Amino acid sequence: MAENGEALTPSPSPLRGRGEHHGRVAGLPLSHGRDVGVADVRAAQRRGLGGEGHPGVRASGGEASPAGPWQMAWRQLRRSKLALFGLGILAVLLLLAAFADLVAPYSPTQQNVALARRGPSAAHLLGTDELGRDMLTRLIYGARVSLSVAIVAQIVILLIGVPVGAAAGYFGGWVDTLLSRAIDVLYSFPDLLLIIIVVTSLRAALRAESGGVLGALASLDAALAGMLGIFLSLALVSWLTVARLVRGQVLSLKEREFVESARASGATTGRIVVRHLVPNVLPAIVVAATLGIPRVILVEAALSFIGIGVQPPTPSWGAMILAGSTAARGGNPHLILGPAGALALTVLACNIVGDALLEAFDPWMRRAGQGRA
């Protein structure tokens, strides 16, 4: 958030004059007679973020060391054992997914039909599946699929949603109208079903193509066991939610004093959007992304469960749950409990961290969202 202070005060010490524009910088009364340097403004910015004093800071007497929303959120997060637990689980999962080749005891595709459907044992801690593949190994590789889909899709969603939302919120006009209408139509469509339609259409389109850009994309999709189709369709469907969030926040932020003063001091539109508005929306985006990741993981699992997600033999939790749900009827509950537990634990951890972040950013986000304290 330090960028705010810097951008707001391009000259080294602009507050000396206490002119019309500078009498109140970002809502912070500067009636005391001493000079205020850039550092002080930055500190004030961090504390107040362009508004009145931060509730949290005010509660601790107003003299506490200045903290931006990030430090405050981190402090809050550290206090919650549940949030740390969630973060810990996510860290372990990420490591397992990244080093799956080193950690996994077997190969994920190596079959041994003689050992099919065995319960947990010393050699196979979570038993074996219907083709005699080691369940633990497949779960670890499945984590790689789930997490990479979640992260890549989320990045694509942000790359589309943030610029479009910011533009619509800041400029209004036809950009805004177009976005709002698009949101209306797409929201009257059931989410998952739209994803299903897009993913099957995209697959069919890619399959029919052999040369050119689409052909290259098709072979990339095949190499990724169908994950490219999932990334793209998820992103195409989900970016609207992010765009709407960013639009709403920008809409209220752009009327605030610190934006006005940036405009008055001659900042270009691009600079205002990139350095003043987007950093202020960032916490909301972080929370939305954290809470969006479990959704993406669930959708991937759901698509694989239907059979149009990640293509076998690449292990995916959704496909394993599908296989396991029939195996459970035959008296092999370990085949469903393993992947179901892994999926539930991952999504649970993401949701816990997301909730904690939401709560940690809350007083600050509420202000950004409503444009008042």
Partner 1 sequence: MTRYLVRRVLILLPVWLAVYTLTFTLYHVTPGGPWDREKPVPPQAMAQLNQKYGLDRPLWQQYLDYLAGVFTRFDFGPSYSRQSRNVSEIITDLFPVSARIGMLAMFLAVGLGVPLGVVSASNHHSIADRASMLIAVFGVSVPSFVVGPILIWIFALSLAWLPPGGIDTWRHHLLPAITLSLFPMALLARATRASLLEVLSADYVRTARSKGLREALVIRRHALRNALIPVVTIGGILLAEVLVGSFYVETVFAIPGIGRYFVTSVTSRDYPVLMGITLLMTTVVALVNLFVDLTYAYLDPRIRYG
Residue 41 or 357: the one with the smaller Cβ distance to partner 1 is 357
Pick from 252, 306, 363, 369: which binds partner 1 (CB under 8 A)?
A: 306
Segment 89-148, which members bind partner 1 (CB under 8 A)? Answer: none
Letter string b/e over residues 310-325, b meaning 16 or more CB atoms within 10 A of that residue's CB: bbeebbbbbbbbbbbe
Pick from 141, 231, 239, 305: which binds partner 1 (CB under 8 A)?
A: 305
- Sign for the CA dihedral angle at 359, 164, 184, 240 comes to negative
Please, what is the minimum distance in Å from the beta carbon of residue 12 to partner 1? 44
Residue 333 touches partner 1, criterion: CB under 8 A = yes
Give residue 370's identity as a one-letter amino acid code. Answer: Q
- Strand, coil or helix: 323: helix
- Report CA-CA distances (Å) from 304 to 38, 221, 300, 301: 54, 15, 6, 5
Pick from 241, 324, 357, 364: which binds partner 1 (CB under 8 A)?
A: 324
| Site track 172-201 with partner 1 (rule: CB under 8 A), x = hit | -------------x--xxx-xx--xxx-xx
Please, what is the minimum distance in Å from the beta carbon of residue 30 to partner 1? 32
Tokens 């469903």 identify what position? 336
170: closest CA among 275, 285, 255? 255
278: closest CA among 302, 304, 242? 242
Residue 321 or 357: the one with the smaller Cβ distance to partner 1 is 321
Number of neighbouring beta carbons within 10 Å of residue 340: 18
Please, what is the minimum distance in Å from the beta carbon of residue 46 to partner 1? 27
- C-alpha span between 126 and 122 (Å, rounded): 9
| Site track 265-304 with partner 1 (rule: CB under 8 A), x = hit | -----------------------------x---x--xx--
Contact residues for partner 1, defined by CB under 8 A: 185, 188-190, 192-193, 196-198, 200-201, 204-205, 207-208, 294, 298, 301-302, 305-306, 308, 318, 321-322, 324-325, 328-329, 331, 333, 336-337, 340, 343-344, 347-348, 350-352, 355
